[in-house]
Amino acid sequence: MRVIGLTGSIATGKSTCASVLSSPPYSLPLIDADLLARKAVEPGSWGYRRIVSTFGPSTPDLLLPASDPQCGGKEDGPSGMGRPLNRPALGRRVFGNSEERVQDRKKLNGIVHPAVRFYMVRSVLYYYLLGHWAVVLDIPLMFESGLDIFCSTILVVAVSEPKIQLERLRARDPHLSAEDAENRVKSQVDVREKAARNQARNNGNPEAGKGYVVYNDGGKEDLKVQLAEVMQKIRSRSPRWWAWLLLLCPPLMASSAAWEVLRNWWVRRNTVKERGEELAKAKL
């Protein structure tokens, strides 16, 4: 089974791509890291308790007030396991470039990422057993978290100018001030660096099929055209007979996956050396 990684940066159009790929004519299973991250910090979960104990004492508004509709007027939340996290408040705590914010992001990532990885592996195995030829991993922090080594192919959704991100972000989240929007964009690695990093996965061969980049500067229809071209190339490198062979022969699947991870790790190692350590730093 081909594991297609989908990534980008905030407000570049990654979610639009995910929606297109999970709908006809592709209808690929979609594993959304953001949804899994939400699941990992639901009230009562291990991640939720760790976040509350880590950030609660210094973030008074970390939890939604009991009067919020999501709490149902209950001090212990609708499920009795605690009030949901106040995500905007947590975002203000971890977004930004100051040393304190960087350290807070690392703490948060250290709580959320292990749980998300567990859910991802479980989901990939589930779709493998169902016989799907490919699955899409929608991961905003693909390179930063090191999950790129587990993907057969990675698709980066980028924009050519930072101002496009800022305009789209403020249109999507009007409650954000100009400063908040800029902090959120700057808190992530520049998407053009991600695009360059992804192209490096091809190791100098544009036809290697390991990394593709689509530039979402125009409308949705233009994006669909670019996606169709990329998916045609990916599909041509994944014949159905090979997918069935991997399904029917688990040892071959395990060997193929291990080789893929080893090869990707080696490329990642060399790329980090060439382009510096920026993308090796986990950011939120």
Beta bridge partners of 213: 156
Q: Kindly report the number of other CB atoms within 10 A of residue 85's CB atom.
A: 22
Q: E strand or H helix at 197, and its extent?
A: helix 191-200
Looking up tokens 């990707």, which residue turns up? Answer: 264
Domain boundaries, the chain: 1-29+132-284, 40-120
8 A C-beta contact, residue 66 and residue 42: no
CA distances from 87 to 34, 38, 59, 154 (A): 13, 10, 12, 29
Indicate yes or no: pTM above 0.85. Answer: no
DSSP states along 178-191? HHHHHHHHHTS--H
List, run by run, the mean pLDDT of 10-residue segments along the chain (284 residues): 92 92 95 90 91 91 87 82 89 84 88 88 91 92 87 93 86 85 81 89 84 91 94 88 82 88 88 66 40
- What pLDDT, on the 0 to 100 scale, is given for residue 24? 94
Give CA–CA dist 168/40, Å, rounded.
28
Cβ–Cβ under 8 Å, residues 214 and 227: yes
Q: Which two tokens stand for residue 208?
A: 């290697």
CATH code for the structural domain at 1-29+132-284? 3.40.50.300
Handedness of CA 202, 207, 211, 212 (dihedral sign): positive
- Residue 274 φ/ψ, nearest 5 degrees: -75, -40
Q: How many helices (H) and strands (E) does the chain have?
A: 11, 5
pLDDT at 243: 78
pLDDT at 171: 86
pLDDT at 14: 92
